[in-house]
């Protein structure tokens, strides 16, 4: 097996690292463990520093919160600098065993971005491949393609657990940290394919994802989503459109932005609407900033045609 590293981006997640990453490290002792601390607080930095020193892991401590993509970029750069030829990017609330790690390493070729099947602790499938429909910007499971015969579905892989070779990383150019949170894995997947790579869900590999582990620690309901979740999902839908679609595609997604944003809000359930200010504020801000991104993308394109 080529030398590999496991890269985990942490934001206030020291307790999750002690639970999940520690088990992964025990299962895969030959992998270099790289923890990126996206700055949240002095106490959290001290906790992560103590944990990484005790476990013998590498720590990349950032001075500010750079978002998920920025954290991955920092962690992968560290891993490559220390000789890694492949990186497993893993959420702090996820874990993987040795058999799955080896299955990911053996699958595909050096230009293949890979993901395992991801399950929740109850056994429910959390991820087994998803599509983004380039017609309307909706995310759907590939099994639903037949319901939308006029669509243009393209696959993407979740950043919760990704096997990335050095070749894929260099081909793609890494994560776009301007997304900050959410949709950066959709964008990354598309750039891999657009530049000659491929995507693969390795069905012989299974990772466990304790989705919403941070919500449980804060006492938030399992179905509820944060205001930041809504804002970045709504905003970044249009960032993806601006980066990957032609003018008509960007305008088409913008026309459907309110409808898509409302569906994103409803992922948190209807009970949250008894206290509507946070989700509706996120909806308004996400639509506003998404529109700005679309307008900024279309403006220079119009100038180039004149």
Tell me the C-alpha to C-alpha distance, in Å, between residue 245 and each of 27, 165, 281, 294, 301. Answer: 42, 27, 27, 11, 12
End-to-end Cα separation, the chain, in angstroms: 54
pTM of the model: 0.92
Establish how many alpha carbons lie within 13 A of residue 197's alpha carbon, considering only the half-sphere containing its beta carbon. 29
Q: Is pLDDT of 219 > 50? A: no
Domains and CATH numbers, the chain: 4-218 (3.90.550.10), 227-305 (no CATH)
Beta bridge partners of 35: 8, 59
SS3 for 211?
coil
Q: Is pLDDT of 81 > 70? A: yes
Mean pLDDT of the chain: 92
Band the pLDDT of 147: cuts 50, 70, 90: confident
SS3 for 187?
helix
Rounded to 10°, the helix 247-255/277-305 angle is: 160
Rounded to 10°, the helix 277-305/227-244 angle is: 10
Q: Is pLDDT of 306 > 90? A: no
pLDDT of residue 179: 97
The beta strands (E) that lie in the chain are given as 4-10, 32-37, 58-61, 86-90, 94-96, 112-119, 125-127, 130-133, 139-140, 153-156, 161-165, 198-209
Alpha carbon 74 to its chain's center: 15
| Averaged pLDDT for residues 25-44 | 96
> How confident is the model over 152-200, as pLDDT tens digits?
889 999 999 999 999 999 999 999 999 999 999 999 999 999 999 999 9
pLDDT of residue 146: 75
| Averaged pLDDT for residues 48-70 | 97
pLDDT of residue 162: 98
Q: Is pLDDT of 303 > 70? A: no
Read out DSSP for 234-288? HHHHHHHHHHHS-HHHHHHHHHTHHHHHHHHHHTT-SGGGGS-HHHHHHHHHHHH
Band the pLDDT of 213: cuts 50, 70, 90: low
* Residue entry with tokens 């560290």: 78
Q: Is pLDDT of 41 > 60? A: yes
Of the chain, the percentage scoring pLDDT greater than 90 comes to 82
Of the chain, the percentage scoring pLDDT greater than 70 comes to 93
> How confident is the model over 86-129, as pLDDT tens digits?
999 999 999 999 999 999 999 999 999 999 999 999 899 999 99
Give dist(CA 147, CA 212) in Å, integer: 30
Longest dimension (CA), the chain: 62
Q: Is pLDDT of 55 > 60? A: yes
Band the pLDDT of 212: cuts 50, 70, 90: low
Band the pLDDT of 218: cuts 50, 70, 90: very low
């Amino acid at each position: 097996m080529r030398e590999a590293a496991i890269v985990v981006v942490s934001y206030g997640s020291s307790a999750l690292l002690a639970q999940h990453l520690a088990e992964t490290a025990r299962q895969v002792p030959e992998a270099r463990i790289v923890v990126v601390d996206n700055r949240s607080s002095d106490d959290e930095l001290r906790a992560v520093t103590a944990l990484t020193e005790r476990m013998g892991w590498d720590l990349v401590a950032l001075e500010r919160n750079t978002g998920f993509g920025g954290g991955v970029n920092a962690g992968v750069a560290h891993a490559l600098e220390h000789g890694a030829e492949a990186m497993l990017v893993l959420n702090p609330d996820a874990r993987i065993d040795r058999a799955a790690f080896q299955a990911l390493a053996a699958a595909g070729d050096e230009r293949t971005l890979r993901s395992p099947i991801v399950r929740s602790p109850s056994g429910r499938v959390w991820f087994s491949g998803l599509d983004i429909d380039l017609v309307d910007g909706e995310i759907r499971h590939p099994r639903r393609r037949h319901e939308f015969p006029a669509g243009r579905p393209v696959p993407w892989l979740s950043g919760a657990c990704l096997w990335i070779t050095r070749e894929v990383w260099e081909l793609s150019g890494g994560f776009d940290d301007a997304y900050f949170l959410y949709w950066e894995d959709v964008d990354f997947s598309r750039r891999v394919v657009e530049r000659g790579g491929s995507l693969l869900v390795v069905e012989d590999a299974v990772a466990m994802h304790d989705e919403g582990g941070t919500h449980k620690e804060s006492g938030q309901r399992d179905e509820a989503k944060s205001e930041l979740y809504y804002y970045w999902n709504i905003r970044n839908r249009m960032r993806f459109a601006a980066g990957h679609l032609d003018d008509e595609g960007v305008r088409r997604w913008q026309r459907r932005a309110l409808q898509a944003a409302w569906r994103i809000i409803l992922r948190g359930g209807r009970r949250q609407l008894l206290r509507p200010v946070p989700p509706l504020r996120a909806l308004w801000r996400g639509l506003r900033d998404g529109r700005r991104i679309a307008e900024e993308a279309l403006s220079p394109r119009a100038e180039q045609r004149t």
